[in-house]
Amino acid sequence: MTCPGAVKIDERYAHISSRHPCFSGEANVNRGRVHLPVSPACNIRCRFCKRAFNKAEQRPGVSAKLLKPREALDLVGRALEICPDITVAGIAGPGDTLATGHALKTFALIHREYPDLINCLSTNGLLLERYADDIFRAGVRTLTVTVNAVDPLILDKICSQVILDGNLYEGPEGAAILIGAQKRGIRKAAALGILIKVNIVLIPAINGDHIGDIARAAAENGAGIVNIIPLIPQYEFAGFPAPDCTELARAREAAEFYLPVFRHCQHCRADAVGIPGQGDLSSLLYGYREFDQTFSHG
């Protein structure tokens, strides 16, 4: 149920959101996406994040291989042949998309070759303000920013390091740098006309009571939708339990007071292909068997 203060996605973006399976529940069942693993490095260290190259795990931060921009463009063409319902070319890793220049080069190629595709970039937001104009010029019109706290003392428990311009920042100082960069980046991207979704990794013991604050800040800075992602217990957070249904529902309710909540995320790999929930087609492009489905959530 939508809370009284909730708002709808701006009608200006309806033609985009209705074709994007990661922004629209309706599109999630009949529109496809191709994720392109071109970004090798990251500039922050989150305590729950474990990047890997393998063929089995079904989660963010994982891909079978790393692609070069030209290889990614070729893969888009093949993906459209096997799944004409693909409407989105997305880059979500396996590292951060703005930590290197590979994602922007890839999007520029795709935008020139396939102008009708929606280009979608996911980032931690550390360099979003710096590259927002380049992102827009590369044809990106939808953007996902992962924001796990807007209080440096809380974020410090989630993100242990921030690397900016060759300098390493830790503790609340590093967390504050990241939070400030995310807010400024979201504001600038929104001003350019990019539709922004904010992802929040729900870690009940740490940010469970902070979700409403994050959603409010996201809305104030121009985001249009929010997605609550249940923690996958791994890496430094391997001993933390995943949120239960009650905790997830409570977090969604807190966020929905400020922004629409996307409820169909499936923790996609960085090289996922096809319509979410209808089986991954990556095996047809990469030459290996379909990924084992290790979990799902709605």
Do the domain assignments include residue 190? Answer: yes
What pLDDT does residue 183 have? 98
Contacts of 215 (CB under 8 A, 6+ apart): 198, 200, 226, 254, 255, 256, 257, 258, 259
Question: Does 96 score more than 60 pLDDT?
Answer: yes
Phi-psi region of 235 (alpha: psi -120 to 50; beta: other; left: phi over 0): left
Question: Does 15 score more than 70 pLDDT?
Answer: no
Question: Does 239 score more than 70 pLDDT?
Answer: yes
Buried b / exposed e over 89-125, threshold 16 CB at 10 Å, is bbbbbbbbbbbbebbbbbbbbbbeebeebbbbbbbbb
What pLDDT does residue 199 have? 94
Number of domains in the chain: 1
- Tens-place pLDDT, residues 97-123: 999 999 999 999 999 999 999 999 999
Do the domain assignments include residue 3? Answer: no
Do the domain assignments include residue 295? Answer: no
pLDDT > 70: what percent of the chain?
74
Q: Model's pTM, two decimal places?
A: 0.85
- Residue ranges making up the domain that contains 81: 11-286
Do the domain assignments include residue 298? Answer: no
Do the domain assignments include residue 250? Answer: yes
pLDDT band for position 264 (cuts 50, 70, 90): low
In eight-state DSSP terms, residue 148 is -
CA 257/CA 49 separation, integer angstroms:
28
**CATH number of the domain within which 37 lies:** 3.20.20.70
pLDDT band for position 3 (cuts 50, 70, 90): very low
State which H helix or E strand residue 198 sits in. Answer: strand 195-202
What pLDDT does residue 294 have? 32
Q: What are phi and psi of 168, to 5 degrees?
A: -100, 125
What pLDDT does residue 57 have? 55
Do the domain assignments include residue 4? Answer: no
Do the domain assignments include residue 5? Answer: no
- Tens-place pLDDT, residues 44-91: 999 988 765 446 556 555 555 788 999 999 999 988 988 888 888 989
In this predicted model, which residue has the larger pLDDT, 296 or 244?
244
Do the domain assignments include residue 91? Answer: yes
pLDDT band for position 262 (cuts 50, 70, 90): confident
Question: Does 275 score more than 90 pLDDT?
Answer: no
